[in-house]
Amino acid sequence: MKVLKFGGTSVGSIENICNVKDIINDGDRKIVVLSAMSGTTNQLVAIANDIANKVPNEAVDKINKLHEAYAITIDQLLTNKVLNNEVKDYTSGVFDFLVACTYKAFSISLENNIVAQGELLSTYMLNCYLKQEGISSTLLPALSFMRIDADKEPNISYIKQHFEIALNSVENSEIYITQGFICLDDNDEISNLQRGGSDYTATLIGAAIKAEEVQIWTDIDGMHNNDPRYVENTKPISNLSFDEAAELAYFGAKILHPQTVTPVRADNIPVRLKNTMNPDAHGTLISNITSENGIKAIAAKDHIIAIKIKSARMLQAHGFLKKVFEIFEIYKTPIDMITTSEVAVSLTIDDDRNLDKIIEELEKIAVIEVDKNQSIICLVGHSVVNHQDTYKLFQILQDVKIRMISYGGSKNNISLLVDTKDKINSLQKLNDYLFELVTL
């Protein structure tokens, strides 16, 4: 069985929902994972923020506007009166719930309940629309099988076991539709897999059922060789290895949730990235096949904090780095890049939730300097560190102040840390000289 995930834009308009119907209606049995309609999760986050900021009237305004927009979409999509009423009843229940939330005190649990509504709405609507079109489909509630543990990591064995139970407890169907993104936590409360998490839902289900393939349907023809939001003349890449895709997703290629390939790489389940608006385009196939050497793609990750830990006396003493790492471990803060010299070690993090406490601890053993607003630019390709073009990087970026370099951590990745204000210029220059054959 295949797992097909459709992102926000793919379910964000009547035309795209019709494309989704055509793509999934091929006679094969499949699992369909849906995101919320584009813009909905952002609105739900804004509603939760209004509640947190104690401006419930503004939250109610947003809820009413969103409800009106859904009513219009439902009228256009569901021409069958009975199904139209059924979806409107369900939707009204969701919006009544949201209004009730505005009378409550803010909590993370309340926010998680609010943001979960987007995927519940989109799946309900698509399921009824497919019924109207005479296509056999069934809803599989994600909250009955998708779960994270106390460390917010997916509980793989639970998901596998309960997905099977969920599948066996509904009527046999050609298409099973489920919600991306949402899950339960270890306290049985509604939670989620972080923004963009529907990709992760799809590969977690793919691994649970040992799917033949996982397809991620979005609004672009696959993974491009640079970030199309900031760079001109980017091109789709037809093949990526799991390692290459994992590096790109982790270092900022928004097309994939950072953890997307983690669940499927061990079982070698291919992941195909496709465009809902252009289904004939090849897209990108992520598999265990490695292709030619050299720089294949560039991604960038923002909101990076660089921490310089200076301690001439202690650095050479064994055990110093252990103390440093322990501090990050205590505060569950992963380190992305790291470089060392005789007198200092510099490292980067992107999670600043415990920054103050981390600094306080580090200051007990060293002198600390912190630079915020940094970006990691990550160059990815099979054996990229051995490639002859690599020497050009410093020439291409001669006008950019490079704060840190990570070379050789893996064969497939070279990372550069720059000030975020230099990011777009750096990405464009790298694109022009590395991929557009402009000569230096």
Spell out the residues 6+ positions from residue 145 whose beta carbon is closer than 8 angstroms to its own.
Answer: 158, 159, 162, 163, 165, 166
Q: Give one DSSP letter per residue of 257-278, joined into a string.
A: -TTTTHHHHTTT--EEEEETT-
Contact assessment for residue 181 and residue 198, using Cβ atoms and an 8 Å cutoff: yes
Spell out the residues 6+ positions from residue 154 whose beta carbon is closer than 8 angstroms to its own.
Answer: 146, 147, 148, 183, 193, 200, 204, 263
Chosen from ligand ADP, Mg ion, ligand ASP, none, partner binding at 224 (C-beta under 5 to 8 Å by type): ligand ADP
Residues near Mg ion (CB under 5 A), total: 2
Chosen from ligand ASP, ligand ADP, Mg ion, none, partner binding at 294 (C-beta under 5 to 8 Å by type): none
Nearer to ligand ADP, 248 or 347 (CB): 248
* 7, two tokens: 């992102």
Which of 73, 71, 65 lies closest to 16 in space, CA to CA?
73
Interface map 180-199 toward ligand ASP (x if CB under 6 A): xx-------------xxxx-
Rounded CA separation 173/439 (Å) = 57
Contact positions with ligand ASP (CB under 6 A) in 39-78:
41
Tally of helices (H runs) and strands (E runs) in the chain: 14, 16
Nearer to ligand ASP, 8 or 154 (CB): 8
| Binding of residue 154 to ligand ASP (CB under 6 A) | no
* 274, two tokens: 């496709």
- Select from 37, 66, 175, 223 the one that contacts ligand ADP (CB under 6 A): 223
Interface map 196-215 toward ligand ADP (x if CB under 6 A): x-------------------
Rounded CA separation 405/407 (Å) = 6
| Binding of residue 254 to ligand ADP (CB under 6 A) | yes
Interface with Mg ion by CB under 5 A: which range of 40-48, 189-197, 220-228, 311-319? Answer: 189-197
| Binding of residue 193 to ligand ADP (CB under 6 A) | no
- Select from 44, 63, 249, 255 the one that contacts ligand ADP (CB under 6 A): 255
Rounded CA separation 355/336 (Å) = 15
Strands 2-6 and 213-218, bridge-based pairing: parallel
Residue with tokens 């503004």: 58
- 255 burial level (CB within 10 Å; 0-12, 13-18, 19+): buried
Nearer to ligand ADP, 253 or 404 (CB): 253
Chosen from ligand ADP, Mg ion, ligand ASP, none, partner binding at 229 (C-beta under 5 to 8 Å by type): ligand ADP
Interface with ligand ADP by CB under 6 A: which range of 24-32, 111-119, 135-143, 218-226? Answer: 218-226
Contact assessment for residue 89 and residue 34, using Cβ atoms and an 8 Å cutoff: no
Interface with ligand ADP by CB under 6 A: which range of 2-10, 262-270, 302-310, 407-415? Answer: 2-10
| Binding of residue 196 to Mg ion (CB under 5 A) | yes
Contacts to ligand ADP by CB under 6 A: 7-10, 35, 196, 218-220, 223-224, 227-229, 253-255, 299
Contacts to ligand ASP by CB under 6 A: 7-8, 35-36, 41, 118, 180-181, 195-198
